[in-house]
């Protein structure tokens, strides 16, 4: 019996040709993907030991006459127990009426204003106390007490350093001082945490 030799230049087997084309296509796609620009995260993460505050992200989050900087935060910098904010309020500007289940300490760096402090022992905040604050003073907000910080000065900014516990903060917002505590609206993540924590959480 005479065995026939395969003709030279014979076409490769079909399944081997398909594999070759697949590998070629994969390499082309990989090369194309490597040349595409990588989208940068809008979350300003920075775990440097020393940070320059003047280079940190500063935004007003849609509130005219207001600016916020997260100096040290849970989401942007990995802190576990505390978070520090630098906030500036233009003349007449104020925070919403709100409460949160964390400790909060303010240090007034510049200007003067008014702290409005409601009660958590009633069904609603009630008529708030009005407490004047000014440069080089500090004040603490009791856990879950509704409050509002107001730059009641018509001529200069109010700048405060804010320290909170148990970050990231979960804030309940009131329409007015007569709104029941149970009707206050949860805002979480809060505006300056949305870039780092876009998905809302169900737990309080």
Question: CA dihedral defined by 63, 192, 153, 147, rounded to 10 degrees?
Answer: 110
Query: Which residues are annotated binding-site positions?
Result: 98, 100, 104, 147
Token code pair at residue 119: 């009660």
Q: Tell me how far apart the alpha carbons of residues 38 and 170 are, in angstroms, rounded to a whole number.
A: 32
Query: Which residues are annotated binding-site positions for Zn(2+)?
Result: 98, 100, 104, 147
Q: Is 136 left (phi over 0), alpha (psi -120 to 50) or beta?
A: left
In 3D space, the residue among 34, 151, 149, 136 whose CA is nearest the CA of residue 99 turns out to be 149
């Amino acid at each position: 019996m005479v065995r026939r030799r395969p003709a030279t230049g014979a076409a490769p087997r079909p399944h081997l040709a398909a594999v070759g084309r697949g590998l070629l296509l994969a390499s082309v796609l990989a090369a194309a993907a490597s040349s595409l620009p990588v989208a940068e995260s809008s979350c300003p993460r920075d775990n440097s030991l020393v940070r320059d505050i003047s280079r940190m992200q500063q935004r007003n989050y849609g509130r005219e006459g207001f600016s916020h900087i997260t100096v040290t935060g849970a989401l942007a910098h990995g802190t576990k127990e505390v978070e520090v904010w630098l906030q500036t309020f233009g003349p007449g500007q104020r925070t919403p009426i709100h409460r949160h289940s964390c400790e909060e300490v303010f240090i007034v760096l510049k200007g003067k204003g008014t702290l409005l402090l409601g009660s958590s022992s009633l069904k609603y905040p009630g008529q708030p106390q009005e407490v004047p604050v000014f440069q080089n003073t500090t004040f603490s907000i009791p856990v879950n007490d509704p409050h509002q910080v107001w730059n009641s000065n018509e001529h200069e900014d109010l700048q405060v350093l804010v320290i909170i516990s148990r970050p990231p903060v979960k804030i309940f917002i009131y329409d007015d001082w007569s709104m029941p505590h149970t009707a206050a609206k949860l805002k979480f993540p809060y505006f300056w945490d949305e870039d780092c924590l876009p998905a809302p959480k169900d737990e309080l």
